[in-house]
Structure 1
Amino acid sequence: MSDDEPSENISGGDAGGGSPAAFGAAANPASRAEAVVDALGDLYWRKAYGGQDAFECLVRTILSQNTSDKASQPAHDALMARYGPGGPEWNGDLAASLADAARDELAETISGAGLYNVKSERILALAERVVEEYGGADGFDAFVRDEDPRRIRETLLEMNGVGPKTADCVLLFAGGRGGVFPVDTHVHRISRRMGLAPAGADHEGVREALETGVPAGKCGFGHTAMIQFGREYCTAREPACLEGPEACPLYDRCDRVGIDELAGEAVDPSEAVADE
């Protein structure tokens, strides 16, 4: 595991929100993707997500872009200590507090997350928009909780700095919407390596394949557990399968696209297909 990766995916751990849920493994899975998610649930956790504050979730996800939990979590904690409840810059609403923040001070506060100048500008712009259009964090939370998911996703994607993964994380962790399977770098790599999505699929292609093949209630824990699996077993360059079939608990469920076990090498699945 890279030194930049924390040992546990915070979204799946005790501090990650959600609650344990008894999603039973299917006796006859409707797809290979469902069978893999069931196996991941046996290996890690089965949780139902939702209930996080939508604006804070949006900010947290912005902080996590192009960095790890190891770096983004302290930045989030520092931001909340300064601009959240009880903090010196708190004025009763997180969006309003951040909308009033000085950009250089916010950038310094979140500097541990990397790309802090860009992220501070994005957070300020998002805070200003949320205050202007929804009256603050509570109004935005109600929008994410109650509005049609398609409209929420379209609205989020119109916001500067919000891509598909960020939008889907807000829908999952704040809105508690079933059938949402956010695709990060781990999910993108593993799904194509295992053959759950086409080897050349982009993030949206992987999302569509997973949301088609995995029952709605299982998408949330499928996302968080697959990230954990990517950290522990299915890493980019040194996946466990290179050590032998017994080293990976999902070996028999995987197509190992891009894996050369004899040479002990792993490449991106899209590269493997391009070389054929």
Structure 2
Amino acid sequence: MADEPAENISGGTDGGGEFDEFAPGESDTRAEAVVDRLGETYWQKAYGGQDGFECLVRTILSQNTSDTASQPAHDSLMARYGPAAGLAESLADADRDELAETIASAGLYNRKSEVIGNAAEWALDEFGSTSAFDGYVTESDPIEVRETLLSVDGVGPKTADCVLLFAGGRGGVFPVDTHVHRIARRMGLAPADADHETVREAIEAAVPPEKCGFGHTAMIQFGREYCTARKPACLDGPEACPLYDLCDRVGIDEIDGEFVDPAMD
């Protein structure tokens, strides 16, 4: 069974949470069967335990870029502005040009430095300290926390959901990034023209809460290794993809070896 990659939004083995096991069995939905199958290939884990504000920063850095680009930016930011317990205080006072230089490897660094700095000021205005914000994320009603995070400029649904999952350890949260969005529509787990929020709602309704966090990270890994944006593995034949029998292959023409966005099929 593969190890959880360190360079991903979950932070790998050092990113909080505990390894867990669930026995793949009689699945009630095809989406649950997909997660069960992923559990036979990848790690199984229950998430939670990351510091809330650091998780928010990490996820902002990951927007519109790869983990291999955002992880060094996160490491540099923490080395300069950490520790996590006082991160909002440090970033609220940070020179924005210096912050942008620190996170340059993440791309869109000028915009991200503004979002991070403004989020730090907001967290202190609303909660008074980094630790109070962290407590709010883990202890308050998750629907309220999500709505509060979405009110912050630069924080979208995926970012809010990642904070709920990786910091709050909330069950039933399945963040949707570009990999999950692509795979869910290709497989027919959500409508072909579904936006990110519709995909999230469809999967969260079909996957048991305790499997959602693992399903999110494992589906991302599956998207990197098999169901890529440039060439899905099924074009090399049924044996090339471990989820072939569970997939509708929407937008994929295996005979001609061509594929399009599911919404265009």
**Counterpart position of 2:18:** 19
Aligned with 1:190 (options 183, 194, 206): 183
Distance 1:67 1:259 in 2: 26
**Counterpart position of 2:33:** 35
Quickly say closer, same or farther: Cα 1:237–1:266, change in 2 above 3 A. Answer: farther
**Counterpart position of 1:215:** 208
Please tell me whether the aligned partners of residues 12 and 224 of structure 1 are also in contact (alpha carbons under 8 angstroms): no
Aligned with 1:56 (options 41, 54, 57): 54
Are residues 1:259 and 2:259 paired? no
Q: CA deviation at 1:15?
A: 3.6
Aligned with 1:80 (options 64, 78, 81): 78
Quickly say closer, same or farther: Cα 1:12–1:34, change in 2 above 3 A. Answer: farther
Q: CA deviation at 1:22?
A: 1.6
Q: Which runs of 5+ in 1 are unaligned?
A: 1-5
Structure 1 residue identity aligned to 2:240: A
Distance 1:69 1:32 in 2: 29
The Cα offsets for residues 87-121 of structure 1, whole Å up to 9 and x where unpaired, read as: xxx9x711000000000000000011000000000
Aligned with 2:223 (options 230, 237, 259): 230
**Counterpart position of 1:3:** none
Structure 2 residue identity aligned to 1:268: D
Are residues 1:126 and 2:125 paired? no
Please tell me whether the aligned partners of residues 8 and 228 of structure 1 are also in contact (alpha carbons under 8 angstroms): no
The Cα offsets for residues 186-229 of structure 1, whole Å up to 9 and x where unpaired, read as: 00000110111111100000000000000000000000000000
Distance 2:68 2:168 in 1: 25
| Runs of 4 or more above 3 Å deviation | 6-10
Matching of residues 240-259 of structure 1 within 5 Å: 240-259=233-252
Distance 1:159 1:7 in 2: 28
Distance 1:200 1:57 in 2: 30
Please tell me whether the aligned partners of residues 73 and 104 of structure 2 are also in contact (alpha carbons under 8 angstroms): yes
| Counterpart secondary structure, 1:93 | helix
Aligned with 1:168 (options 154, 161, 176): 161
How many residues of Structure 1 are paired with residues of Structure 2 in the alignment? 261
Q: Which runs of 5+ in 2 are unaligned?
A: none
**TM-score between the two structures when normalised by the length of structure 1:** 0.92
The Cα offsets for residues 55-110 of structure 1, whole Å up to 9 and x where unpaired, read as: 0000000000000001000000000000003xxxx9x7110000000000000000
Q: CA deviation at 1:132?
A: 1.3
| Counterpart secondary structure, 1:60 | helix
Quickly say closer, same or farther: Cα 1:187–1:83, change in 2 above 3 A. Answer: same
Distance 1:12 1:94 in 2: 17
Quickly say closer, same or farther: Cα 1:252–1:34, change in 2 above 3 A. Answer: same
What's the RMSD between the two structures over aligned residues? 1.5
